[in-house]
Amino acid sequence: MEFLGLDLPSYSWQTVLGSAISGVFLGSIYALVALGLTLIYGVLHIINFAHGALLMLAMYAVFFLWKLLGLDPYLAMLIVVPGAYIFGYGLQRGVIGKASHGRDEIILLVTLGVSIVIENAALFFFSASERSVLVPYDLDGIDLGVTYAVYPELIALGGSLLITFALWLFMSLTDTGKAIRAVAKERQGARLVGINVDHIFAVTFGIGTACVAAAASLLVPTYAVHPQIGYLFVLIAFTVVVLGGMGSFIGALVGGFLIGVTEQLGRLYLGESMGVITISVIFILVLLFRPTGLFGQRSG
Amino acid sequence: MLDIQNLHAGYGQMKVLQGIDLNIQQGEIVALLGSNGAGKSTLNNNISGIYEPTAGAILFEGENITGLRSEQVVQKGIIHVPEGRRIFPNISVRENLELGSYLRGQKNRKANLDRVVGVFPRLQERFSQLAGTLSGGEQQMLAIGRGMMAEPRLMILDEPSLGLSPLLVEEMFGLIQDLNKTGLSFFLVEQNVMQSLEIADRAYVIENGKIVLSGNTDALLDDPELKKSYLGV
């Protein structure tokens, strides 16, 4: 098969479909990591460089809960997610908010600094070696005909969809959710109806961190933990956020799936190393024709 | 009700308010008149806790509220409908109104919502529309409606007539009088001097951060100084 002058291997449709499906599974994790990032960007207007470090930290928490207490990684979510919320809340209110004095360019550097501190602390305490959780069901799964889906993949997909939906409900129906959306656009108006803006910022950062902790729980059964693991996912999550439209939930979800499927198909046709390049190609193409991303709104 | 004593405030090195004395009695409409840059909005923002005064005191029903945070001021029942409306453009009209009772008036949200759309039927027609898509007049209605949702005891209205057509301005001032009859006190900050004086009980004139003139509106309407500076006669 020839495409744009490239001689591509030919595959049966079953292989292609199977590859695309595994891309959907992968994309659901990207979407969940991106969800926290896009929420924080949408409200606080900050690019959270610490997001990857927080993902890594949450993965270590899941790992050690399994290692030391024998807790299943999925059950660990019940501890790690609330813990991450509190950690994120405190980090924003006590460190990022305080150090930045409300100036965006400082916030950017502060989150970068936080990520460096967390990553080096992880290197110091946990060393650079990879650690994996062994779960008894990691190779069990369901035969979908064109591909075999293991339970961790299925749970990741279901979990991501469920969490995105739950977050959307929270943002639409609760006063806190409405306040988060209000603060995103009109801070002084928010103060005048009695919204504590600093509190809402910290709540938002906490929820974003909780999302990334949920992603960590879903990742640990299939990915080994090491201090650099955050980079891998967050670079792609940044792409997903920009692709889907900064601040858009549905954009994060669709963008995540799009990137996941593109990556897997790219790998299938171009090989492991070249395959990842397709992400950037799709990214550039979307931004050429839709600079605000797929679901982004023009600012202002 | 509200008693402001020798209030000084500003931004950094810049002193804007230089010793303001002002009071509002329960049930009154008090107007604050003055040109751009005289310090009107600064005064409001210091009452509502957006900024902290550098000296002086603000008492609300005898209680010192100087330097309280904005959410604490809202909790007391002082609701500031700011200049430029400051509605939430990216959420629906209904959600804007609901957030009006984010802190205060939560219990009676449903009843208050009915009351607000009773006053502004236009808002009900636009309930599910994003607030940013409303016309200027509708946005002003929404801003006042959002303020009413918090069951205010004193409402600060900052330039409510700005950008409205003369007909809408007329309507707006009529509405303020109606609300006032239900017992709500108003602090009305306006550049629209004539109409403000018509509905207000008393008025203060601010210039360069100082109160230069105050009194009953009837008396002020006859004041030669005021006539010269603000009415152009």
List the domains of chain A with CATH numbers. 2-127+141-289 (1.10.3470)
Across the interface, do B88 and A188 touch by the CB < 8 Å criterion? Answer: no
Mean pLDDT over each residue of chain A, to the nearest integer: 89
Task: Identify which of A185, A191, A195 has the shortest CB distance to residue B90.
Answer: A185
Is residue A1 over pLDDT 70? no
The residue ranking higher by pLDDT, A118 or A274, is A118
B99–A192 CB contact, under 8 Å: no
Mean pLDDT of the region A156-163: 93
Question: In this model, does residue A299 exceed pLDDT 50?
Answer: no
Partners of residue A177 in chain B, C-beta under 8 Å: none
Asked if the model's pLDDT at residue B96 lies above 50, the reply is yes
- Closest residue in chain B to residue A298, using alpha carbons only: B90
Q: What's the confidence (pLDDT) of residue B232?
A: 61
Q: How far is CA A281 from the centre of its chain?
A: 20
Residues 177-206 of A with CB under 8 A from B: 178-179, 181-182, 184-186, 188-196
Please answer whether residues B85 and B138 qualify as being in contact, where contact means their C-beta atoms are separated by less than 8 angstroms: no
Answer for the pair B208, B36: CB distance below 8 angstroms, yes or no: no
ipTM: 0.90
- Token readout for A147 is 């591909």
What pLDDT, on a 0 to 100 scale, did the predictor assign at position B34? 87
Question: How far apart are the CA of B215 and the nearest CA of chain A, in angstroms?
Answer: 29
End-to-end alpha carbon distance in chain A: 47
Q: Between B194 and A199, whose confidence is greater?
A: A199
The confidence score (pLDDT) of residue A173 equals 94
Residue A179 is nearest to which of B74, B102, B104, comparing CB atoms? B102
With beta carbons under 8 A apart, name residues in chain B contacting A195.
Answer: 71, 99, 102-103
Distance from CA of B229 to the nearest CA of A (A): 33
List CB contacts (< 8 A) between A194 and chain B.
70-71, 74-75, 102-104, 150
- pLDDT value at position A300? 36
Average pLDDT over residues B164-187: 89
Q: Which of A178, A188, A196 sits opposite B98 (nearest CB)?
A: A178
Q: Which residues of B touch A179 (CB under 8 A)?
A: 99, 102
- Considering only CB atoms, which residues of chain B are within 8 Å of chain A? 48-50, 69-71, 74-75, 79-82, 85-91, 95-96, 98-100, 102-104, 146, 150
pLDDT band at A147 (very low <50, low <70, confident <90, very high): confident
- Tell how many helices (H) and how many strands (E) occur in chain B: 10, 10
Q: What angle is formed at CA A177 by the lines to CA A176 and CA A178, rounded to 5 degrees?
A: 90
Q: How many Å lie between the alpha carbon of A42 and the closest alpha carbon of chain B? A: 12
For chain B, how many residues are written? 233
Q: CA B26, CA B6: separation in Å to the nearest integer? A: 21
Across the interface, whether the CB atoms of A175 and B99 are under 8 A apart is answered: yes
The residue with tokens 């909790």 is: B75
> Is the pLDDT reported for residue A104 higher than 90?
no
Say if CB A296 and CB A289 are below 8 A apart: no
Q: Which residues of A fall within a CB distance of 8 Å from B99?
A: 175, 178-179, 182, 190, 193, 195
- Joined together, the tokens standing for residue A195 give 């919204």
Contacts with B, A 152-181, CB within 8 Å: 175, 178-179, 181
Q: Is the pLDDT assigned to residue B108 strictly greater than 90? A: yes
The C-alpha of B99 sits at a distance from chain A's nearest C-alpha, in angstroms, of: 7
CA distance linking residue A293 with residue A297, whole number of Å: 8
- Give the mean pLDDT of B178-183: 91
CA–CA min distance B100, chain A (Å):
5
C-alpha distances (whole Å) from A173 to each of A20, A177, B114, B127 are 35, 7, 19, 15
Residue B220's CB is within 10 A of a number of other CB atoms, namely 23
Residue type (1 letter), B45 = N
pLDDT at A252: 92
Structure confidence at residue A70 (pLDDT) = 92
Question: A273 CB near a chain B CB, below 8 Å?
Answer: no
Residue range A61-77: average pLDDT? 95
For A146-160, B93-107, B109-123, B161-175, which range has the lowest pLDDT when averaged over its residues?
B161-175
- If pLDDT is split at 50, 70 and 90, which confidence band does A182 have? very high
Q: Do A29 and A156 contact (CB within 8 A), yes or no?
A: yes
For testing contact with chain B, the best of A171, A173, A192, A297 (most B CBs within 10 A)? A192
Mean pLDDT of chain B: 91
Q: Dump pLDDT digits (tens) for A222-275.
A: 899 999 999 888 889 988 998 888 888 889 999 999 999 999 999 988 888 887
CATH superfamily of the domain spanning B24-52+68-231: P-loop containing nucleotide triphosphate hydrolases (3.40.50.300)
Tell me if B69 and A190 make a contact (CB, 8 A cut-off).
no
Are A51 and A234 contacting, i.e. CB atoms less than 8 angstroms apart? yes
Rounded Cα distance, A129 and B216, in Å? 80
Reported as a single tens digit per residue, the pLDDT across B8-33 is: 998 888 899 999 999 999 999 999 99
Min distance A30 CA to chain B CA atoms (Å): 27
**Contact: A178, B146; criterion CB under 8 Å:** no
What would the mean pLDDT of B45-73 be, rounded to a whole number? 94
- Is B50 close to A185, i.e. CB distance below 8 A? no
Torsions phi, psi for B195 (to 5 deg): -70, -35
Whether A193 and B99 lie within 8 Å, measured CB to CB? yes
Query: Residue B168: which pLDDT band, with cuts at 50, 70 and 90?
Result: confident
> Would the pLDDT of B65 be above 80?
yes
**What is the signed CA dihedral for B148, B101, B104, B47, rounded to 10 degrees?**
-60
Q: What is the pLDDT of residue B131?
A: 95
Per-residue pLDDT tens digits for B154-163: 999 998 888 7
Domain boundaries, chain B: 24-52+68-231
pLDDT of A20 above 70: yes
